[in-house]
Amino acid sequence: MRSMSDDHTHVQEFFTARAADWDSRFPDDGPAYAAAVAALELREGDRVLDAGCGTGRALPPLRAAVGSSGVVLGADLTPAMLQAAVRAGRDQEGRLLLADVAALPLRSGSLDAVFAAGLIAHLPHPLTNLRELARGVRRGGTLALFHPVGRVALAARQGRRITPDDLRAEGNLRPLLARSGWRMTSYVDEDARFLAVAVREG
């Protein structure tokens, strides 16, 4: 059985090797991130977490959405990705936390929203990990699970095919979210993006 630290080591090794050129590999994604952030319908002064923030590509649009009175947090467990975020100046847009989203260092209900780009496929225990994100968000708050390409395009890029048990298939994701405290309100899976939005249930 894989232990929690095995899961961390695997993720950290994978992303440490990719951190330095992460942004330059995907230079045109900015507008797609801004559009996905808009789906959270954030307001001035809101508190939002970018879960698995990596190099912090979502932090500028998140900051723009909540304004200077809002709180923007970026949590990631790979130090090299956070170091790349600092080099890119993204620590000016939000507070970076070296943290596992499976155990958020936050009070229950303290967030208005969570944005998570490219994260869910890396979560070792999706049900409990999504429950932990729900714990951090107030009732009625929102979650966006995003990827700048859709499932089929991503699988092709990775040299694989999507299988029926794919976590992000609508028929799998909707009940998974329901069991972890979220009600899925929209789902888009097209070549140019994957975006599922959910609301925190009471």
165-170: long-range contacts (C-beta < 8 A, 24 or more apart)? Answer: 167/120, 167/121, 167/126, 168/120, 168/121, 168/194, 168/196, 170/196
Spatial separation of the C-alpha atoms in residues 201 and 55, rounded to whole Å = 30
Kindly tell me which of 9 and 139 has the beta carbon lying closer to ligand SAM: 9
93 binds ligand SAM (CB under 6 A): no
Beta-bridge partner residues of 97: 75
Q: Taking CB under 6 A as the rule, does residue 174 contact ligand SAM?
A: no
194 interacts with ligand SAM by CB under 6 A:
no
Considering only residues 29-58, where is the footprint of ligand SAM by CB under 6 A? 52-55, 57
**E strands, 67-175, where?**
71-76, 95-98, 111-117, 137-147
Which region among 85-93, 94-102, 158-166, 171-179 touches ligand SAM (by CB under 6 A)?
94-102
Interface with ligand SAM (CB under 6 A), residue from 49, 59, 66, 77: 77
94 is a contact residue toward ligand SAM (CB under 6 A): no
Binding flag, residue 113, ligand SAM (CB under 6 A): no
Q: Which of 48, 96, 101, 176 binds ligand SAM (CB under 6 A)?
A: 101
CA triplet 97, 35, 53: central angle to 5 degrees?
15
Dmax over Cα atoms in the chain, in whole Å?
45
Which residues lie near ligand SAM (CB under 6 A)?
Answer: 11, 15, 52-55, 57, 75-78, 81, 100-102, 117-119, 122
